[in-house]
Chains A and B, each alone.
Chain A
Amino acid sequence: MPNISIKATNISKKFDVRKEKIFPTEGSFLNKTIHKCFTAKYKEFWALKDVSFEIYEGESVGIIGMNGAGKSTLLKILSDIIRPTTGKIEIAGQLAAILELGVGFHPELSGRDNILLYGKILGFTKKQIEEKFDEIVEFSEIRAFIDNPIKHYSSGMLMRLGFSVIAFLETDIILLDETLAVGDINFKSKCVNKIIDLKNSKRTIVIVSHDINEISNYCDRMLLLHEGRIIDSGTSTSIINKYQQVLIQDRALKGDARRNKFRNNNMNLLYDEQVKNLKTSIDFEESNLQVQSSSFRLISASISSLNSIDLEQNDFPIDKEIHVSIKVKYLGGKADMAFGVRDFMNNRIFGNFVFMTNKANINKNGSYQLNWIIPPNIFNEGIFKLGVVLYDEQYQQVYTIHELLIFKTVDKNKIANDFTFFTPVKPMIEFNFNQID
């Protein structure tokens, strides 16, 4: 049986939320005064209700839930910023909680001083910090500026400095809020790798997030928090599905007001939003759009598939070819154009240049129909956007549209608990069994 790192027993947290003051407008002065004195000014709000869990040594656990599920409260209680109303938590070993990077950084102090100060605020001794000092500086990529006051640093540099301090100082347990996405792309991937390193070195990690994608990379196990209770715990895959259900239920319950409020925070809602905006054909002359380079002018574009009858017109089965046909006017010359596909989060997936794939080059001016046939078994279920980029002869971009067409694919043979749920592509790659002995 592994050691327990954190053991929470029946923790609850009550907040007193200030009520809106409602004073009687009628009645005598005495009546009003008495009313004012005796009506409760606060109402109770239980952010956490009877939460119990155990986290074992070396485990990395994600705590997920929607906004307002009590994640932050739980994190603050675990990091001892606030105390629970009832219940008990036992923590074995030193714990560092990072709710925000670079808390306590002072702009007038140098990077060096700030590392020392930040480390001490997190509860480390001078010795512990100095041992790791070089690694911290190396990782944060700010060696050249280490003795400058940090008010001259860019915000990316500050984030890197903050992250490096926590990543290298060794504690038994790390609590992380959604601070993983910091800095530019390069640094972000460095951070992700560092967290995976920490996980591999058997440190106990607790990550709190509402973005299940982001944290499923790191977590062995997840706790799903909903309305102050832990409603489920288990492997990432099983919790992802449960979380989807919770989100859908919640949306049905609370309607559109909530959807709009949290749209940006939530992939599902972003997805839903785009389902409404599907667009499978466009006529440029009708919509008065001049999409033109020195060689091409777009006339219209449409997308179609060999739909089976039982599916909606707009759904494209993933196991069928998808035909993209574009009508263009060729104006002569060698200015290329390219078509590409992005997923609904605007991640690029693939694309092709026309002249590089089109074997039978066009050389006479006139109207052409360009067919781009996307083979079956490339997309996963989801929403995709077809975009076009027009170039001049030196391959400089002249015109770009990301959302020329938006289409939705469906997977008819989906199995429950499919772990590939969030991958944009799903090619059919076969496994071969070769018996070895």
Chain B
Amino acid sequence: MEIINKDKKAITTITSNINLLEYVRKCLHYKELIWALVKKDLKVKYAQTRLGLFLSILQPVISLLIFSLFFGKLLHLGSDGTPYPVFVFIGLISWYYFSILVVISGTSLIESQQIIKKVYFPKLIIPVSKAISALMEFFIWLLVLVVLMVIYKITPSYKILFFPVFLILNMVAGLTIGIWLSALSFKRRDFIHVVPYFVGLTMMVTPVFYHVTIIPQNINYLLYFNPIAGIVQGFRWCITGNETFSLWYIPSFLIMFLFFFLSVWYFKKVEYRMAEQL
């Protein structure tokens, strides 16, 4: 039964299910909303703060001082040849962006319950917009890194062109877990408390403040299961050029992408149930 439609208006069909392609198309239709939400996040974040941007810069600087003091000066952890502060800071930027992404995109849906119940748009937009607004934080940290590199007189090579690749990988890594978390947390709130804790622990198994060489040779390969390790190494490889980037990381990236698509698929599957469960 076709519906009569002389004016050729776009027809939306609502049935019990929605396929992935249609869903992605819907998300793209709302791309303006993504930017509006990003803009809102940034404005809200710095509304009513005097120190605003200054605080955002202070945070990485303090982390930098603590890490280079404790691990560099006191524990004498070695680097890849670059001065330890630069070495550790690249690791910190990448890992910090990853972990903040998991937390804010993971909790973003629960925070926007009101909207979810009352108006329709593809909810995937919420965690994605959070990932983009968190980029602001990332760029502020990057600014500190640039200052640091000027101080230590480090000039990047042509490899810096790969920087966006690793940035995207970093974003996908954080979003994958963030989307899973946001979708799962609707059924069981426990995830909100547990997952960020384990994300915090991943710093230990990722060469953020230590160099890969301190891991015994015979279990070195375990690192290749950790895409975050690959991303951190990749950043160092493309920024300072002193690190080597192993192609053995690529399978873990591929698996990560697989999980990313699965997360979108799962998210789509439970999206309509979210409004019911609230």
Please name all residues of chain A whose beta carbon is closer than 8 Å to the beta carbon of B16 when the two chains form the complex.
Answer: 83-87
B150 → chain A, closest Cβ, in Å? 36
A183 an interface residue at 8 Å Cβ cutoff? no
- Residue picked from B15, B29, B48, most chain A C-beta under 10 Å: B15
**Are A93 and B15 in touch, CB under 8 angstroms?**
no
Please name all residues of chain B whose beta carbon is closer than 8 Å to the beta carbon of A9 when the two chains form the complex.
Answer: 1
Q: Using a CB-CB cutoff of 8 Å, which residues 16-73 of chain B contact chain A? A: 16-18, 29-30, 32-33, 36-37, 39-40, 43-44, 47-48
Q: Using a CB-CB cutoff of 8 Å, which residues 52-93 of chain A contact chain B? A: 76-93
**Are A103 and B9 in touch, CB under 8 angstroms?**
no
A392 an interface residue at 8 Å Cβ cutoff? no
Contact with B along A115-135 (1 / 0, CB 8 A): 011001111011000000000
Please name all residues of chain A whose beta carbon is closer than 8 Å to the beta carbon of B44 when the two chains form the complex.
Answer: 106, 108-109
**Are B14 and A103 in touch, CB under 8 angstroms?**
no
Q: Cα distance A89–B117 when bound, in Å?
A: 20
Contact with A along B109-148 (1 / 0, CB 8 A): 0001011111111000000000000000000000000000
Chain B residue at minimal CB-CB distance from A91: B12
With A92-B9, A103-B118, A108-B48 already in contact, the answer to whether A84 and B40 are too (CB < 8 A) is no
**Are B115 and A121 in touch, CB under 8 angstroms?**
yes
A29-37, A94-102, A261-269, A428-436: which lies at the interface: A94-102
B189 → chain A, closest Cβ, in Å? 16
Q: How large is the interface on A (under 10, 10 to 19, 20 to 34, 35 or more residues)?
A: 35 or more
Residue among A88, A99, A104, A113 making CB contact with B15, cutoff 8 Å: A88
Chain B residue at minimal CB-CB distance from A96: B119
Q: Cα distance A82–B36 when bound, in Å?
A: 24
Q: Cα distance A87–B16 when bound, in Å?
A: 7
B190 an interface residue at 8 Å Cβ cutoff? no
Please name all residues of chain B whose beta carbon is closer than 8 Å to the beta carbon of A426 when the two chains form the complex.
Answer: none
With A3-B4, A15-B276 already in contact, the answer to whether A120 and B32 are too (CB < 8 A) is yes
A340 an interface residue at 8 Å Cβ cutoff? no
B120 → chain A, closest Cβ, in Å? 4
**Are A121 and B6 in touch, CB under 8 angstroms?**
no
Please name all residues of chain B whose beta carbon is closer than 8 Å to the beta carbon of A86 when the two chains form the complex.
Answer: 16
A7 an interface residue at 8 Å Cβ cutoff? yes
A106 → chain B, closest Cβ, in Å? 6
With A86-B16, A108-B47 already in contact, the answer to whether A122 and B11 are too (CB < 8 A) is no
Please name all residues of chain B whose beta carbon is closer than 8 Å to the beta carbon of A15 when the two chains form the complex.
Answer: 276
Residue among B11, B119, B276 making CB contact with A99, cutoff 8 Å: B119
B10 an interface residue at 8 Å Cβ cutoff? yes
Please name all residues of chain A whose beta carbon is closer than 8 Å to the beta carbon of B1 when the two chains form the complex.
Answer: 7, 9
B246 → chain A, closest Cβ, in Å? 44
Q: How large is the interface on B (under 10, 10 to 19, 20 to 34, 35 or more residues)?
A: 35 or more
B49 → chain A, closest Cβ, in Å? 11
Residue among B13, B33, B114 making CB contact with A90, cutoff 8 Å: B13
A4 an interface residue at 8 Å Cβ cutoff? yes
**Are B9 and A172 in touch, CB under 8 angstroms?**
yes
**Are B18 and A4 in touch, CB under 8 angstroms?**
no
Residue among B12, B14, B37, B48 making CB contact with A83, cutoff 8 Å: B14
Please name all residues of chain A whose beta carbon is closer than 8 Å to the beta carbon of B265 when the two chains form the complex.
Answer: none
**Are A92 and B118 in touch, CB under 8 angstroms?**
no
Residue among B39, B119, B275 making CB contact with A82, cutoff 8 Å: B275
A387 an interface residue at 8 Å Cβ cutoff? no
**Are A123 and B15 in touch, CB under 8 angstroms?**
no
Please name all residues of chain A whose beta carbon is closer than 8 Å to the beta carbon of B121 when the two chains form the complex.
Answer: 121, 123
B217 an interface residue at 8 Å Cβ cutoff? no
Q: Cα distance A97–B43 when bound, in Å?
A: 27
**Are B114 and A103 in touch, CB under 8 angstroms?**
yes
Q: Cα distance A4–B6 when bound, in Å?
A: 9
A1 an interface residue at 8 Å Cβ cutoff? yes
With A7-B3, A103-B118, A108-B48 already in contact, the answer to whether A123 and B30 are too (CB < 8 A) is yes
**Are B14 and A100 in touch, CB under 8 angstroms?**
no
With A92-B5, A106-B44, A121-B115 already in contact, the answer to whether A83 and B11 are too (CB < 8 A) is no
Q: A82-B276, A87-B16, A149-B47 are in contact. List 6 more A-B contacts (CB 8 A).
A: A4-B5, A81-B116, A83-B272, A88-B15, A90-B14, A106-B40
Question: Could you tell me which B residues sit within 8 Å of A by CB distance?
Answer: 1, 3-7, 9-18, 29-30, 32-33, 36-37, 39-40, 43-44, 47-48, 112, 114-121, 272, 275-276
Identify 10 residue pairs between A and B in the complex whose beta-carbon atoms are under 8 Å apart, listed by A's number: A4-B3, A9-B1, A76-B275, A81-B119, A81-B272, A88-B14, A89-B15, A93-B10, A97-B119, A103-B114
Closest 6 CB pairs of A and B: A93-B9, A89-B14, A80-B120, A108-B47, A103-B118, A83-B272
